[in-house]
Structure 1
């Protein structure tokens, strides 16, 4: 399979502190790949480097065969790399449908025409509704986003990401703060996303990680300790020593 996202010898220093330590990571097209590690392992820093929020001290980042190391966040997003965040970033005063329709409009470069009535934007509304249906959110289309349960709000954030038509979707702790019953439903929906969307996620709930991921990379003190299948990771003595059973944040 082809590699869609790759780092080579990636380093990020904050003064004398090495947050990302010569990381070589390769994510295959269609992958369901998890990034785990104890507190302070550097997981979010690595995601911030991949998306362009942070610039690396050294090393290279490749996206779909192109060097994007010095590209802006916006340009990486335009090329298909989209992320969600640990904390929801939603339009509280919009309905679910309006929120996703706005994201679709932005992708088409028509965000400045949002003043037009939603009913007049047939193609945009149809695309937004199709995304909501895909995620099981269509029954909530006319609800204000702030009125939904937190697990449903996390799905809305994923809907906003899908509206940008990502090729690679980075999920930063999608189940953070979500009750167990809702988080299982959330991951069931994520697992059903088409393989055209490659997924790399950070998640602290190991039960969810082992049920979802097909490959797992373990990050410790900014360095990649091990990458393998969930079966190998779950029983590896070094992994159990440094991570499993600990709380991640």
Structure 2
């Protein structure tokens, strides 16, 4: 009995030590937000959707662990002149910080748009904008989906007298995702009018039903990981 109590205390301590980053998923109904969230939240320790999902009438939340790298590079002449083996001993990578990442997907049955105000938005650390590449209207609607949450985050995080321009790369981290890549025959080139270009954000194009779309050796995986790292930094 003492063993199980100790394990329960250890688990509770772990949950208290691991901080949480909250990511908001935005886009028109039917663009693949749920499939994308399934892909993003899938991991070795949460391989099934039931093992990582909490839902209510308004939100579906999926969670996974993210390792945020911390690198320590001492700025000393000795470090510059020592051998590689000694350098590794003197300047190791510090342990990675663990974070829970919670992906918040608002249920399609709940309507909201440009004037949407929700207390949850004040605690959001990153936003993923999702559109269907077969229907560029869903891309154009992203401005409306973004307006309410971004205004809430801006008012919460910034001094009102020194408020930055809302569509700024210095604001909350944003990742743009184009879905239905497997069904797209021809991609429309609209770089100057692309919301990712306007926001200075990264953009990826994927087939949400292909697990290899976010394989660790792929470019998409690197962009998602960089986005999550920036969300951690925004939270800090």
Query: Which structure exhibits the higher relative contact order, with contacts defined as CA atoms closer than 8 Å and separated by 6 or more residues?
Result: 1
**TM-score computed with the length of structure 2 as normaliser:** 0.29
The structure in which a higher percent of residues are helix is 2
Structure index of larger Rg:
2
